[in-house]
Amino acid sequence: FLYVSLFRLKDLEVAKLGDSDVHVKMLAAPINPADVNMIQGTYAILSPLPAVGGNEGVGEVLEVGRRVTALKPGDWVIPAGTGLGTWRTQGVFPQETLLKVPSDIPVLCAATLSVNPCTAYRMLADFETLAPGDSVIQNAANSGVGQAVIQIAKASGIKTINVVRDRPDLPKLVERLMALGADHVITEEMLRKPEMKDIFKSIPKPRLALNCVGGKSTTEMLRHLQPKGTMVTYGGMAKQPVMVPVSAFIFRDVRLRGFWMTQWRKDHAQDRESLASMMDTLCQLIRKGQLTAPACTEVPLQDYKTALEATMKPFTSSKQILLL
């Protein structure tokens, strides 16, 4: 909890509104693992200090500079990239750092839209061509990305096998993930058990595995992948390397890939079309009730220390959201 002491709540002057700037009143912003990694100095992008924390959130436009045409007061906006510094009540940002989102979706859905659901969407779409009836296996299934994977897959008719760590309130967690549309929820220990065969009587072996843990959990998950299947790593919560038996490469020709949403955004900076179509699809799922915000705990900005400490606790199944 050393990192919590690096934070201060400060009153700052709001910058002057330039011709291409947008004055935003922030509404809500989550605390994500990547935000904590940035504070720890272990993330691939680090903001020059002193910095405002937070890479994600939703705000309402109060005022726009005279050259701004795409946004108007009353519009809702989310960050277009990383490092915006969303843990604040107000800010003035260049218009190209913001994306407009519909204001008829729930505020918590908008606040948590730009990182986890986008990551889930891209990983399901970009590595394997999945059809209804196909299956996906993932670990850390109760994470924000994991919950989004379950719901987006369900809406597309794709079956999910969801791996979670054993914990005191396991039945409650299983029930919650099943309610989101999970087909199977199992513990890491069960990955090694013969009962796994029973699961594959009713659904095909997965062609896609999503890994956010590393270590033994990943090696065990990989054993259930179809030949020529792909495992995508997007996190390393166990802080252990991904270990792959040589036989998986030689005899099953599995592919190992990585994914980082920030990199995808950089690579597609000129391709507004694919970003717009992804956002549109996600917002439609939200409107239909097929994609909800992850389990959230709403915390006033003044209580940011409590929220940061809660984020660092093991077995957290609720995302801390700062209300601004």
Are 23 and 96 part of one and the same domain? yes
Structure confidence at residue 2 (pLDDT): 52
Residue 132: CB atoms within 10 A of its CB come to: 8
| Dist CA 28 CA 323 (whole Å) | 5
Question: Mean pLDDT throughout 123-137?
Answer: 98
| Dist CA 324 CA 58 (whole Å) | 10
Are 156 and 206 part of one and the same domain? yes
CATH code, 172: 3.40.50.720
Are 175 and 100 part of one and the same domain? no
Are 107 and 212 part of one and the same domain? no
Q: Which helix (H) or strand (E) holds 50?
A: none
| Dist CA 7 CA 36 (whole Å) | 12
Looking at the structure of the chain, the number of domains it has is 2
| Dist CA 307 CA 1 (whole Å) | 12
Contact between residue 54 and residue 29 where contact means Cβ atoms under 8 Å apart: yes
Q: Show the tokens assigned to 64.
A: 């726009």
Are 120 and 108 part of one and the same domain? no
Are 127 and 184 part of one and the same domain? yes
| Dist CA 79 CA 94 (whole Å) | 11
| Dist CA 142 CA 145 (whole Å) | 8
- 282 inside domain: no
Catalytic residues, which ones?
43
Structural domain span for residue 19: 4-112+293-323
Residue 6 pLDDT exceeds 80? no
Structure confidence at residue 43 (pLDDT): 86
Contact between residue 174 and residue 151 where contact means Cβ atoms under 8 Å apart: no
Which percentage of the chain shows pLDDT scores above 90? 81
Three-state SS at 219: helix
Domain boundary among 261, 276, 306: 261
Question: Mean pLDDT throughout 50-56?
Answer: 91
CA distances from 238 to 31, 145, 218 (A): 19, 16, 10
Structure confidence at residue 7 (pLDDT): 81
- 297 inside domain: yes
Residue 297 pLDDT exceeds 90? yes
Are 181 and 310 part of one and the same domain? no
Question: Mean pLDDT throughout 176-203?
Answer: 95
Q: Residue 82: which pLDDT band, with cuts at 50, 70 and 90?
A: confident
- 272 inside domain: no
Average pLDDT, the chain: 93
Contact between residue 86 and residue 56 where contact means Cβ atoms under 8 Å apart: yes
Residue 272 pLDDT exceeds 70? yes
- 199 inside domain: yes
| Dist CA 150 CA 181 (whole Å) | 6
Are 98 and 219 part of one and the same domain? no
CA distances from 205 to 59, 130, 155, 265 (A): 42, 12, 19, 31
- 279 inside domain: no
| Dist CA 57 CA 309 (whole Å) | 19
Are 120 and 256 part of one and the same domain? yes
Are 133 and 198 part of one and the same domain? yes
CATH code, 57: 3.90.180.10
Residue 314 pLDDT exceeds 90? no
| Dist CA 321 CA 298 (whole Å) | 5
Q: Which residue has the tokens 């439609």?
A: 284
Question: Mean pLDDT throughout 157-178?
Answer: 96
Are 88 and 144 part of one and the same domain? no
User: Mean pLDDT: which of 44-53, 80-89, 150-159 is highest?
Assistant: 150-159
Structure confidence at residue 44 (pLDDT): 85
Q: What angle do CA 143, 148, 153 make, to 5 degrees?
A: 130
- 178 inside domain: yes
Sign of CA dihedral 77, 236, 37, 2: positive
Q: Which helix (H) or strand (E) holds 184?
A: strand 184-187
Domain boundary among 237, 261, 285: 261
Q: Residue 4: which pLDDT band, with cuts at 50, 70 and 90?
A: low
Are 160 and 106 part of one and the same domain? no
Residue 247 pLDDT exceeds 80? yes
Question: Mean pLDDT throughout 179-188?
Answer: 97
Q: Show the tokens assigned to 22.
A: 């947008």
- 277 inside domain: no
Describe the chain by its helix, strand, coil percentages, rounded to 5.
35, 20, 45
Tell me the whole-structure pTM to 2 decimals: 0.93
Domain boundary among 261, 284, 313: 261
- 283 inside domain: no
